[in-house]
């Protein structure tokens, strides 16, 4: 199956050092009766709790911006934006009863045998195609409904339930509130949005615990999260990231370069060395174009992009990533796994992982200190990250903090 370009929609939460205690009570909107056993968590973290028999809860909130998510069976999901130093320490959450059925417009047309027909697309594009996918299982696949639109050649997935995953590769139990899932088969693009809550699984042995820790470190290395964090901290070079501009190569240009290479080969046959008279960048360009595999039409120029060219500081604990065109990010410390080429069927192979990024809406991406970022739908990736950055390899935003250690 050909890999899809992915729009990554990430809900951010910047974790600082200090914490605030948030207390609250959860009630039914009609009866005003306390809602017990509701799940309360900070989106994309392992920070969460449940309401007690009085509907009450308390939660330590690290400094920063978060989305507080409250879910309970038979109720609509409640979302509250928490801004640093600007939220009440004691809140009342009113939950509205969820519709008994999905909206009529969807019920009329969703595929009654959706999972058997479309489940493989959901698994490969949302959970992933890496080796880790085999150990990341959706416990309630029957909750996912699908709708295929023949007019737009697109597929949507939706659910009224919280999706439950168990990831034995990384040692997490994940509750996922799915907001949006869409595949556009016309342009091979995929986008999703949602709110995951992470919980550490209890290891059966010290060996399993160490394996989970090693697997987490492995998926973090060379990841989009590590790139964003190194971008913020001005450690791109130290952590092996290189950024270069990408240009499109027409078939006419390919033919021109092929002719130049023929002339070079002919001159070398009679003892000449025309490469000595060539600019180093020109020679690199000709070689890159000449080595393009059939169907590939882009190359990364030899010129490296500096951080100062694409990053601007702000008055807050964030920086702005902004650029024009397409950039190729290569991680020289992360070798491309063989399974990537087997899965995505790429024509050309690269020793190290590389991903093309662009900002289709031409607005800046907000990047936080811990590597989380906010872009809306304005961050498009194509390449290694579009294959690797899926739920099976997802880490919580507080990965690496004391709150995210495995249980003893």
Sequence spans of domains, the chain: 1-223+389-408, 227-249+292-388, 250-291
Tell me how far apart the alpha carbons of residues 299 and 245 are, in angstroms, rounded to a whole number.
8
Rg over CA atoms, the chain: 24
Quick one: tokens of 352? 């190290």
Sheet holding 78-82, edge to edge: 48-50, 39-42, 66-71, 78-82
How much is the pLDDT for 113? 81
φ, ψ at 288 (rounded to 5°): -65, -45
How much is the pLDDT for 57? 97
Tell me how far apart the alpha carbons of residues 328 and 305 are, in angstroms, rounded to a whole number.
10
Tell me how far apart the alpha carbons of residues 82 and 61 are, in angstroms, rounded to a whole number.
9
How much is the pLDDT for 295? 67
1-223+389-408 CATH pick, 2.60.40.10, 3.40.225.10, 2.60.40.1120, 3.30.450.20: 2.60.40.1120
**Any bridge partners for residue 164, and if so which?**
175
Tell me how far apart the alpha carbons of residues 44 and 193 are, in angstroms, rounded to a whole number.
11
How much is the pLDDT for 2? 46
* pTM (predicted TM-score): 0.80
Tell me how far apart the alpha carbons of residues 208 and 190 are, in angstroms, rounded to a whole number.
34
Work out the angle between the directed axes of helices 251-269 and 280-290 (0-180°, nearest 10): 110
- pLDDT one digit per residue (tens) for the chain, 408 residues: 444 565 555 545 554 446 789 999 999 999 999 999 999 999 999 999 999 999 999 999 887 778 999 999 889 999 998 876 667 889 999 999 987 655 544 444 677 788 999 999 999 999 998 888 999 999 999 999 999 999 999 999 999 899 999 999 999 999 999 999 999 999 888 888 999 999 999 999 999 999 999 999 999 999 999 999 999 999 999 999 999 999 877 777 777 777 777 777 776 554 555 554 555 556 677 777 667 666 677 778 878 999 999 999 988 788 999 999 999 999 999 999 988 887 775 555 688 999 999 999 999 999 988 888 887 778 999 999 999 999 999 999 888 754 444 444
Tell me how far apart the alpha carbons of residues 238 and 241 are, in angstroms, rounded to a whole number.
8
How much is the pLDDT for 19? 76
DSSP letters for 267-282: HHHTT--GGGGS-HHH
Q: How many H helices and E strands in the chain?
A: 9, 23
How much is the pLDDT for 401? 56
**What long-range pairs does 361-367 form, CB within 8 A, spacing at least 24?**
362/324, 363/322, 364/312, 364/320, 364/321, 364/322, 365/320, 365/321, 365/322, 366/12, 366/318, 366/319, 366/320, 366/321, 367/228, 367/231, 367/232, 367/311, 367/318, 367/319, 367/320, 367/321
Tell me how far apart the alpha carbons of residues 285 and 278 are, in angstroms, rounded to a whole number.
11
The SS3 of residue 214 is helix
Q: How many CB atoms lie within 10 A of CB 52?
A: 15
- Residue 313, exposed/middle/buried by CB under 10 A (0-12, 13-18, 19+)? exposed
How much is the pLDDT for 402? 44
How much is the pLDDT for 346? 59
User: Can you point out the beta strands (E) in 111-151?
Assistant: 136-138, 145-149
């Amino acid at each position: 199956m050909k890999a899809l370009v992915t729009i990554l929609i990430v809900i951010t939460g910047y974790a600082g050092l200090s914490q605030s205690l948030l207390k609250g009570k959860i009630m039914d909107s009609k009866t005003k009766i306390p809602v017990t056993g509701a799940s309360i968590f900070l989106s994309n973290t392992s920070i969460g709790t449940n309401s007690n028999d009085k509907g009450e809860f308390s939660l330590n909130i690290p400094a920063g911006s978060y989305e507080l998510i409250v879910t309970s069976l038979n109720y609509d999901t409640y979302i509250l934006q928490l801004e640093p130093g600007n939220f009440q320490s004691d809140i009342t959450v009113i939950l509205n009863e969820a519709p008994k059925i999905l909206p009529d417009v969807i019920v009329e047309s969703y595929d009654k045998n959706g999972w058997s027909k479309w489940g493989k697309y959901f698994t490969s594009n949302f959970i992933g195609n890496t080796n880790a996918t085999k150990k990341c299982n959706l416990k309630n696949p029957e909750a996912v409904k699908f709708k295929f639109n023949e007019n737009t050649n697109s597929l949507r997935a939706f659910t009224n339930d919280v999706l439950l995953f168990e990831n034995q590769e990384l040692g997490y139990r994940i509750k996922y509130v799915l907001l949006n899932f869409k595949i556009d088969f016309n342009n091979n693009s995929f986008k999703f949005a949602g709110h995951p809550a992470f919980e550490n699984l209890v290891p059966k042995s010290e060996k399993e615990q160490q394996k989970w820790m090693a697997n987490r470190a492995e998926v973090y290395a060379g990841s989009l999260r590590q790139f964003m964090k190194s971008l913020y901290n001005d450690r791109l070079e130290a952590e092996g990231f290189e950024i270069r501009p990408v240009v499109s190569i027409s078939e006419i240009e390919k033919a021109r370069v092929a002719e130049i290479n023929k002339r070079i080969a002919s001159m070398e046959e009679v003892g000449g060395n025309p490469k000595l008279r060539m600019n180093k960048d020109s020679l690199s360009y000709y070689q890159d174009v000449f080595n393009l595999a059939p169907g590939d039409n882009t190359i990364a120029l030899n010129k490296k992009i500096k951080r100062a060219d694409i990053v601007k500081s702000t008055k807050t604990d964030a920086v702005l990533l902004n650029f024009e065109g397409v950039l190729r990010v290569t991680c020289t410390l992360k070798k491309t796994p063989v399974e990537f080429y087997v899965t995505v069927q790429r024509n050309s192979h690269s020793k190290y992982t590389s991903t093309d990024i662009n900002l289709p809406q031409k607005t800046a991406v907000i990047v936080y200190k811990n590597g989380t970022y906010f872009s809306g739908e304005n961050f498009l990736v194509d390449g290694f990250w579009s294959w690797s950055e899926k739920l099976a390899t997802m880490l919580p935003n507080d990965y690496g903090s004391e709150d995210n250690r495995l249980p003893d």
